[in-house]
Amino acid sequence: MPTNLPPEYFRAEQTFREAESSSAKIIALEEMMSTIPKHKGTDKLRAELRRKLSRLREDQQKKKGAGKHESEFHIEKEGAGRVIIIGAANVGKSSLLAAFTNALPAISEAPFSTWTPLPGMMLIDDIQIQLIDTPPLSKEIVQPELFDLIRSADLILIVVDLQATPFQQLDASLKLLNEHKIIPKQRQSTTVDERRIQFIPILVVVNKDDNDQCDEDFQVFKDLLEVELPLVPISLNSQRNFENLKKRIFESLEIIRIYSKPPGKDADMTKPFVIKKGSTLEEFAGKVHHDFQQKLKTARVWGRNVYDGQLVGKEHILHDKDIVELHL
C-alpha cells in the first residue's frame, strides 16, 4: 500500500466497502482511482483497481442481461445510517419524508395512499442519513417483506397522529413489530433474549402538533402514556420542531463524526468519517483503512477530553467532532 495516498482516497474506499450494489461500487472505485497520484509507487495499486473495475462492469452487464427483478422492498443502503418511518395510515409518514428529503412521495387526505416504500436522503449537519417511507402498518394487510425491510433499520420512527387516536396507533404499531420479533432497543435489558429477536432503537414522532392548543394535548398524551419510549412532538404542516427531530435522530443513531487530518495540513471539515459512539482510536484507524489498525502507533487529537493536539494511544475513546491525525 503506497503511503502517500490522500484522505479522499480512503473516504472513497470506505464508500466502496459499504456500497451494496455494483453501480454504487463502480462510482466509488472510479472516485478512488481519480484521487490516486500517478507515479511509479502507485502503479500496482492502480492496476489492481482497474482490474476490479472491469470485473464489476462485467458483473453489471451480466445482471442486466438476466433481467433480474428486484422487489420494491429491497432498497440499497446509503449514507451514514438507515431510518425507517412506520405507523398507522394517514399519520403523516410520507409528509415526513417529503419535509426532510428531496423525495416526492404521494401525500393525501385519504388513508392508504402509500403502497411501496420510498427512500430519500436527509442532511443532518454534514452527514447524510437514509430515510425510508413505508406503506401503513395494519393488521389486515400484513406484508412480510415490509418487516424484512424494517429489520434492516438502524432506527425506527413510529409516527402517530396527535389529532386522531395516538394511543391506539402507537399500541397497534408496537404490537405488530412485536409479532414480528422486532423489539425496541430501549427494552433490551428487560426482554428475554430468545432466538431471532431483533432489538432496534425507536423514536415516537408525535405529528400534527400544529399549535399551542395541540401542545396541551401532547402534554396529556405524554403524561398518560405508559409506554416508556422517547417522544418527539412535531408538526409537518406548520414546520414546528424540525431541528429538534433532526437532533434526536442523530443522537438515537449513536454515531459520531470524526475529521481526519493529514500531518502538517488542515483537516477536511466537510466530510467526516462516521463511526459508532464509544469507538476507540484503533477502531477509527481500521475504518479509515484496514491496514491502518495494524500499523497505527499513536495519534494527535483535537476535541473533547483532550488538550489541543494531545498524543493518545490506541485505546483512547473518541468523541463526536474530534479531529484526528493518525501516525503510522
Ligand X SMILES: Nc1nc2c(ncn2[C@@H]2O[C@H](COP(=O)(O)OP(=O)(O)OP(=O)(O)O)[C@@H](O)[C@H]2O)c(=O)[nH]1
Long-range contacts of 171-179 (CB under 8 A, 24+ apart): 171/227, 172/88, 172/137, 172/139, 173/86, 173/87, 173/88, 173/137, 174/227, 176/137, 176/139, 176/142, 177/86, 177/150
Q: Measuring CA to CA, which residue among 213, 79, 218, 65 is closest to residue 155?
A: 79
- The entry of ligand X, Mg ion, none that residue 237 binds, CB within 5 to 8 Å by partner kind: ligand X
Give the interface size with ligand X as a residue count (CB under 6 A).
21
Cα(127)–Cα(123) distance, integer angstroms: 6
Cα(95)–Cα(265) distance, integer angstroms: 44
Q: How far is the CB of 233 from Mg ion (least distance, A)?
A: 20
- Closer CB to ligand X, 107 or 227, in the complex: 107
Kindly state whether residue 169 participates in binding ligand X, applying the rule CB under 6 A.
Answer: no
Kindly state whether residue 119 participates in binding ligand X, applying the rule CB under 6 A.
Answer: no
**8 A C-beta contact, residue 155 and residue 200:** yes
Query: Which window, 53-61, 90-98, 197-205, 255-263, contacts ligand X (CB under 6 A)?
Result: 90-98
Q: How far is the CB of 146 from Mg ion (least distance, A)?
A: 13
- Closer CB to ligand X, 135 or 272, in the complex: 135
Q: Are strands 298-302 and 322-327 parallel, antiparallel or unpaired?
A: antiparallel
Q: How far is the CB of 136 from ligand X (least distance, A)?
A: 3
Kindly state whether residue 140 participates in binding ligand X, applying the rule CB under 6 A.
Answer: no
Q: How far is the CB of 25 from Mg ion (least distance, A)?
A: 31
Among 5, 236, 258, 285, binds ligand X (CB under 6 A): 236
Which residues within the stretch 252-311 sit at the binding site for Mg ion (CB under 5 A)? Answer: none
Q: How far is the CB of 89 from Mg ion (least distance, A)?
A: 8
- Closer CB to Mg ion, 56 or 103, in the complex: 103
Q: Measuring CA to CA, which residue among 241, 184, 205, 187 is closest to residue 87?
A: 205
Among 11, 25, 82, 93, binds ligand X (CB under 6 A): 93
- Closer CB to ligand X, 95 or 186, in the complex: 95
Please give the DSSP secondary-structure letter assigned to residue 189.
G
3-state SS assignment for residue 235: strand
- The entry of ligand X, Mg ion, none that residue 241 binds, CB within 5 to 8 Å by partner kind: none
Which residues within the stretch 186-215 sit at the binding site for ligand X (CB under 6 A)? Answer: 207-208, 210
What does the DSSP assignment read for 105-166? ----SSS----S-EEEEEEETTEEEEEEE-PPP-SSS--HHHHHHHHT-SEEEEEEETTS-H
Query: Which window, 111-119, 150-158, 246-254, 278-286, contacts Mg ion (CB under 5 A)?
Result: 111-119
- Closer CB to ligand X, 94 or 101, in the complex: 94
Among 22, 94, 101, 134, binds Mg ion (CB under 5 A): 94
Q: How far is the CB of 87 from ligand X (least distance, A)?
A: 6
Kindly state whether residue 114 participates in binding Mg ion, applying the rule CB under 5 A.
Answer: yes
What does the DSSP assignment read for 46-112? HHHHHHHHHHHHHHHHHHHHHTPPPPTT-----SS-EEEEEESTTSSHHHHHHHHSS------SSS-
Q: Helices 93-100 and 242-253 sit at what angle, rounded to 10 degrees?
A: 90
Query: Which window, 4-12, 48-56, 143-151, 233-241, contacts ligand X (CB under 6 A)?
Result: 233-241
Kindly state whether residue 169 participates in binding Mg ion, applying the rule CB under 5 A.
Answer: no
Kindly state whether residue 91 participates in binding ligand X, applying the rule CB under 6 A.
Answer: yes
Which residues within the stretch 98-117 sit at the binding site for ligand X (CB under 6 A)? Answer: 107-109, 111-114
